[in-house]
Structure 1
Amino acid sequence: MSWDILIMNYRGNPPRVENMTDDDRPFCIGNAGHVRELINKQLSGIDWSDPSWGIYKGEGFSLEFSIGVEDEKDSFMVHIRGGGDPVATLMKISNPNDWSLLDCSSGDFIDPNRPEQSAWGDFQKYRDQIISTKSDSKTE
């Protein structure tokens, strides 16, 4: 189970989710190789042995970058697992590129000027509750 973040290029100005229309399309980021370069400029140590799927191991968490192989990209997904503080690392790659981060759990964009840990914390509580419930049902 992962906390999923959709990264899109709104040039630092994402639309309000509740007012989005079909016209609110993100801008092109570039091809998959360019996306990898932009991420690597901000974050070292990513395993790109599968160029479409990069894995970064942080302190207590991992980020899995689902880049794909499409020629032109306007978004990509990041799957976060573990504990620790992945929000600071997400900001490290998104802010310099003016990328917008959509929290797939809440359906809201993360504020790059005041990124809150609450969404990550809420996901961890939910995940831990699911794991605990599954463990409890196995012991009955």
Structure 2
Amino acid sequence: MSFDVFVQDLPLDTRTVAEIPDDFAPQPIGRRADIVAGILRAVPATNFADPTWGVIDGPGFSIEVNIGPAEVLDSFAFHVRGAEEARFVIADILRELRLRALAPGTDSGFFEPSELGAAYTAWQAYRRQVVGGAPDAEPGAAPDTAR
């Protein structure tokens, strides 16, 4: 079970998801090749052996990057397991790509590294309740099969 962060075109001038205008129509975020190149600039060790599914292994964490097969992307997702330090890796990638992301459990609804600690802690407690206290998968372990 992973903590998920969803990247898409989001208004830059809103502080919370509730402030997104009802008539806002997200645009494509870019070509898959450009998104992958940006991720690799931010985190050169990202493994894109599968060009639709990148993997970043860090000290105590693993991030799967689900970008899918489309040539032009409307969105993609990060699936995080392990230490909450992964938030800084995601922040670096988003900064490089000049994109924003949604993060369930944050006060604003947006991915903000300063807010993510509390959201991640709450998610870990929920996960322990659902899966009976199973720890996060160790980095390098086989990913969840439910994608």
Task: Give the TM-score normalised by the residue count of structure 2.
Answer: 0.76
1:132 paired residue number: 132
Q: CA deviation at 1:115?
A: 4.3
Q: Deviations over 1:8-51 (max 9, x none)?
A: 23374457422445532333322211110011110121111110
Total equivalences in the alignment: 133
Counterpart CA distance in 2 for 1:111 and 1:84 is 13
Kindly indicate whether the alpha-carbon contact (under 8 Å) linking 2:127 and 2:133 is maintained by their aligned counterparts in 1: no
Residue 47 in structure 1 maps to residue 47 in structure 2: yes
Mapping 1:100-139, distance limit 5 Å: 100-105=100-105, 108-111=109-112, 114-132=114-132
Mapping 1:67-82, distance limit 5 Å: 67-82=67-82
Counterpart CA distance in 1 for 2:46 and 2:126 is 28
1:24 paired residue number: 24
Moved more, 97-106 or 11-20: 11-20
One-letter amino acid of the structure 2 residue matched with residue 47 of structure 1: N
Is there any run of 5+ residues in structure 2 with no aligned partner, and where?
135-147
Q: Secondary structure at the match of 1:109?
A: coil
Kindly indicate whether the alpha-carbon contact (under 8 Å) linking 2:53 and 2:67 is maintained by their aligned counterparts in 1: yes
**Residues 62 and 13 of structure 1: CA distance in aligned 2, closer, same or farther (over 3 Å):** farther
1:64 paired residue number: 64
Residue 93 in structure 1 maps to residue 93 in structure 2: yes
Counterpart CA distance in 1 for 2:14 and 2:66 is 21
Identity %: 27
